[in-house]
Chain A
Amino acid sequence: MTLDARRVEIPGARPETPDYGAPGVVHARRTQGRTVENGSAEEDWTALLIRVRDRQDRAAFAQLYRHFAPRVKAFLMKGGTGEALAEECVQDVMATLWQKAALFDPARASVATWVFTIARNRRIDALRRARPEPEDLDWGPAGDEPDQAEVYEAAQETKRLGEAIARLPDKQRVLIERAYFGELSHTEIAAETGLPLGTIKSRIRLALERLRQQLG
């Protein structure tokens, strides 16, 4: 899915609702049925990115940077990118996150997934390769409010998948990680992940079906 092509307005996240970072709609849902580990609430990356989108909130951006920049750097270096180039690419990835925050659709993907796609594309650029993108979908009239349950689900998927990856046998986990780090050629990549990807696929398919119905 092309993640950077959607414009979805969230009335609840407009500047006139200035407490988005505080317990708001998304936040309230997040706390339902969620076990808080180590006694500390995890950061709500989606809410932070929406603050960047709506208010060019630099403090929110800095929080996102501190979390994602070192991870993207490691992600690139594990794939063989040298430290200096990795650093440069991370700066570009985070600059893109700032510039394209308006294109992030919290009902489609988590911030981590969006950051991954930006980093992947930057790595392809650095290798002077090309990766044609699918046609964008018109996710509908601006002003449509994304389903808050979907926003919550998308944000939670990364966490659940991460936990599922951690439970995999070492060999399988390493193969998946190496595929995404860019260490495996396409002939070496196997699809059998042993991970619960079906739930994500189902959620996206439902959203696509709704979209197709709206488009008539």
Chain B
Amino acid sequence: MTIRHHIPDRLLMAYAAGQLPEAFSLVIATHVSVCDVCRAQLAAYEALGGAVVERTEGIAMRDGSLEALMARLDALPPVSKTVARPRGSLPAPLMDYIGGDLDSVKWRPIGMGVRQALLPTDRSATVRLLHIPAGAPVPDHGHRGLEMTMVLRGAFRDQLDRFGPGDVEVADTELHHTPVAEQGEDCICLAATDAPLRFTGMVPRLAQKFLRI
């Protein structure tokens, strides 16, 4: 896939620093899995973390700390392989959260043919899969916080650009956009928000609360 829309640097840096809510981290981990540009930039931000640690003036460990750990070393078996992760049509971190591939997603209709599936994360932000029929609009919604949307299948367009597989659109409070799935193929996206989406034309407020959308 040809990826044209990448993760903004400030979010890669926040992810490298371990400062992003789980929901956004999942979108970044999924994108980096398929994007070497962002994988390399992430490595650079992790190298920056290494340099920060290296130049930090140390605080002495308590007396006997090294000896205590040395005494335990023989009981610590070497680890030479990482845990095998699921393989399928989606990147491994996303499959971890779905508990399988796309056919394992438990979709729920939210109106106008659009379906969603919330993925389990801590509540500091939410992340969901969205299934939008080809040619259908994702109704206009405003944002009160950060939103990241990664295309997994198909494509959508909004006022700004076209977003195809692997692309990530980042929106904040300034943007009031109306993405439309391209004709020809249903669009499946992974979308994280740190504020509830406020759909302005589709679902009553009460239903939003009920559906956690």
Interface size for chain B: under 10, 10 to 19, 20 to 34, or 35 or more residues?
35 or more
- Residue of A with least CB distance to B62: A87
Kindly list chain B residues whose C-beta atoms are within 8 Å of the C-beta of A132.
22, 25-26, 29-30, 93, 96-97
B 33-51 to A, binary, CB cutoff 8 A, 1 in contact else 0: 1101101111111111111
Cβ B25 vs Cβ A131 within 8 A = yes
Cβ A91 vs Cβ B54 within 8 A = no
- Residue of B with least CB distance to A181: B52
In the assembled complex, B201 has its CB within 8 A of some CB on chain A: no
In the assembled complex, B104 has its CB within 8 A of some CB on chain A: no
Kindly list chain A residues whose C-beta atoms are within 8 Å of the C-beta of B50.
109-110, 112-117, 158, 161
Q: How far is the CA of A166 from the CA of B49 in the complex (A)?
A: 14
Cβ A179 vs Cβ B19 within 8 A = yes
Interface residues in B36-89 (C-beta closer than 8 Å to A): 36-37, 39-62, 65-66, 68-70, 72-73, 76-82, 85
Which listed segment binds A: B3-11, B130-138, B149-157? Answer: B3-11
**Shortest CB distance B93–A (Å):** 4
A208 and B85 contact, Cβ closer than 8 Å, known pairs A78-B56, A123-B18, A162-B55:
no
Q: How far is the CA of A198 from the CA of B53 in the complex (A)?
A: 20
Q: How far is the CA of A115 from the CA of B50 in the complex (A)?
A: 7
Tell which of B11, B52, B58 touches A186, judged by Cβ atoms closer than 8 Å. B11
Cβ A4 vs Cβ B48 within 8 A = no
A109 and B43 contact, Cβ closer than 8 Å, known pairs A70-B58, A72-B53:
yes
In the assembled complex, A187 has its CB within 8 A of some CB on chain B: yes
A189 and B19 contact, Cβ closer than 8 Å, known pairs A58-B70, A113-B49:
yes
- Residue of A with least CB distance to B91: A135
Cβ B51 vs Cβ A197 within 8 A = no
**Shortest CB distance A103–B (Å):** 7
Give me the interface of B with A, judged by CB distance under 8 Å. Answer: 8-22, 24-26, 28-30, 32-34, 36-37, 39-62, 65-66, 68-70, 72-73, 76-82, 85, 91-93, 96-97, 121-122, 146
